[in-house]
Structure 1
Amino acid sequence: MRRFGLFLLFIFCLNGPVWAQDTYRLAKVAEGVYAALAAPGGAASSNALIVDVGEQVFLCGAHFTRKAAHDLIAAATEVSDKPIRAFVLAHHHPGYSLIDFDIPANRDLVMNIETRLVTRQEERVLENPLIFFKNGMTFEGSELTLVLINVGPAHSDGDLIAYIPQRKILFTSDVLYFNSAGFLGAGSLSDWLSVLDGLETLGADKIIPGFGLIGTSVDLAHFKAYLGDFVATVRDHIEKGDSLETTLQNFRLPEYEQLPGYEEFTPGNVERAYLQLKEEISGE
């Protein structure tokens, strides 16, 4: 009996998926559109998007380790038998050459021009065929249209969002966090708030953030309130003449202290915001 069990296990392994993946949890958002939600403790630190436009599939996201990139491909093959057209890189942070550079070289890589300029300064060289744009780019298939819009700087120096107009689905990568304090990036906090105003005008029914579960405009409004209160509180400390050390010691946002990641991210977020906003205020 034991031998028979081992035999069945062996047969299962032979016939199992080529890319058994544990990085993402798939959630169907609409026909042809899937959220690849980063699994806790997995290889991905950010959510991704899978879009089957009719003849081809597009994969959107950021912070791709080698495993995360391959696991996203594996996830896409679970929901579509169409060929993968390209990866869309939503943003890239300077100095992180261990991510975003190991996407399989036979896949096209799409990004905005700001992200291309950032990746060009890294020690490693991208080996993919590159497609980059200034304002926006549209891929129109027989079933769906994927619209890419350059909205940066916000979370980074070059953020893009993806929108599927037929389904009113928005993918923001780390421009939005739902139910999380999150890492407030390396872009422009003031511009980030303006970007959130613009996202609200899209009227998306469903929104896939960089971290957290699929949400709606209500969740967007919650994050916008959090970011606005965060920026305003740091600015108040600066205008009172508080030093960075005093600001770090006394900074409080009691309404948001229960958010996941608040204790982990707040000190670094406050320091970055203080230095950026102080420079802005001194130049006013």
Structure 2
Amino acid sequence: MAKPFASSADTAPKAETLEVLADGVYAFTSEGDPNVGAIEGEDHVVCFDARATPVAAADWLTALREHTDKPVRHLVLSHYHAVRTLGASAFGAAEIIMHAETRALIGERGEQDWASEHARMPRLFKEPGSIPGLTWPTITFSAQISLALGGDRGDLVLGHAGRGHTKGDVYAWLPDRKILFAGDLVESEAALYTGDAYHKDWLRTLDGIAALGAEVLVGGRGAVVHGAENVEAAIEQTKCFLLTLIAAVEPVHAAGGDVRTAFDAAHQALEPTYGKWPIFEHCLPFDVQRFWDELDGIVDPRIWTPERDREVWALLQDRG
């Protein structure tokens, strides 16, 4: 039986949970859907990631407003993917912050990514007509910037540890509280999407993330992780997914095999551990194709479009 394309058949609503991580620090999770968060300053709020549409973002903001009525001054976007950026207009943020590479990627492929992700994950695009267009930053940076939260709240550090899930991934770090918002650089019991990744660079980037010494981690998907040992385990889980994928695909490529054989090898290696986790079957064809491209010498990810998505899905995942 043919598998439904990507997450197109995933139509059931997910339970949404707002978790207070510390005084004025919040995470909003949704059973494996993309996570978002917020940090209160003395007289403002910094939000981290935006959801896929303004209407979907409004659900998160409604929950947040039960805890604070401070205005959103900064909206930080972890990377360029549509499910993270297209809801930005709901926040009314004075400043939208992203990495300089993320801004470049939006310019290069934002429209195509929007169409691709909408087709792959239609449930996340609640009332897509509410999206006014692509999201553009007012502030970009390359390495690190700090946002003063005011009073005795310290600083929120925004950093770029290197290429990983995309070329421009940003994390948000509260050093005084050891709370880290990692975006899709780290997942908690959720499969990795690596279709726009730099697989081997990502492993080095994770070493930088681990060196921060977080004791609370909000990953891109999955439950919030509490405790230094559990944070370390989540980072190692992310590494293990990458290493297993690399170890399965690389020998097939070296032996002159084809990408379908590589996909089968990767599926066999990864499925026992990760197969029941959110979006595993959705992600794996795109993951394998991207790493295969890297092995072919294609340094930067090729642009995903709905047409290319379907071609890769038919070749690798939907073979009857």
Q: TM-score scaled to structure 2, two decimals?
A: 0.71
Aligned ranges 1:128-277 → 2 under 5 Å: 130-141=138-149, 142=151, 143-215=153-225, 216-251=231-266, 252-253=268-269, 255-260=272-277, 261-277=279-295
Q: If each structure's strand is expressed as a fraction of its own residues, which one has the higher value? A: 1
The secondary structure found in structure 2 opposite 1:79 is: coil
Distance 1:35 1:192 in 2: 24
Q: TM-score scaled to structure 1, two decimals?
A: 0.80
Distance 1:64 1:97 in 2: 4
**Of residues 109, 113, 117 in structure 1, which corresponds to 2:96?**
109
Which structure 2 segments of 5+ residues have no match? Answer: 1-13, 112-131, 226-230, 300-320
How many residue pairs get matched? 254
The answer to which of 247-256 and 269-278 deviates more is 247-256
Distance 2:240 2:54 in 1: 35
Distance 1:257 1:24 in 2: 23
The answer to which of 159-168 and 138-147 deviates more is 138-147
Contact 1:154–1:187 (8 Å) recurs in 2: yes
199 and 259 in structure 1: CA distance in 2 versus 1, 3 angstrom threshold: farther
1:71 corresponds to 2:59: yes
Distance 2:54 2:208 in 1: 33
Distance 1:98 1:32 in 2: 22
Contact 2:193–2:287 (8 Å) recurs in 1: yes
Letter in 1 for 2:28: A
Give the superposition deviation at 1:128.
6.5
**Of residues 44, 51, 54 in structure 1, which corresponds to 2:42?**
54
Q: Which residue of 2 aligns with 1:80?
A: 68
- 1:151-199, Cα deviation, whole Å (9 max, x unpaired): 3421112110010011101111111111121322403111111111111
76 and 278 in structure 1: CA distance in 2 versus 1, 3 angstrom threshold: same
Distance 2:25 2:71 in 1: 15
Q: Which residue of 2 aligns with 1:12?
A: none
Give the superposition deviation at 1:262.
2.7
Contact 1:92–1:100 (8 Å) recurs in 2: no
Give the superposition deviation at 1:272.
1.6
Give the superposition deviation at 1:238.
1.4
Letter in 2 for 1:116: R
1:34 corresponds to 2:26: yes
197 and 259 in structure 1: CA distance in 2 versus 1, 3 angstrom threshold: farther
The secondary structure found in structure 1 opposite 2:224 is: coil
Letter in 1 for 2:258: S
The answer to which of 177-186 and 249-258 deviates more is 249-258
Contact 2:187–2:219 (8 Å) recurs in 1: yes
Distance 1:209 1:220 in 2: 9
Give the superposition deviation at 1:241.
2.2
Distance 1:205 1:149 in 2: 17
Q: Which residue of 2 aligns with 1:13?
A: none
Letter in 2 for 1:253: A
Letter in 2 for 1:82: K
Greater radius of gyration (CA): 1
Across the aligned residues of Structure 1 and Structure 2, the Cα RMSD in angstroms comes to: 2.6
Give the superposition deviation at 1:69.
2.3
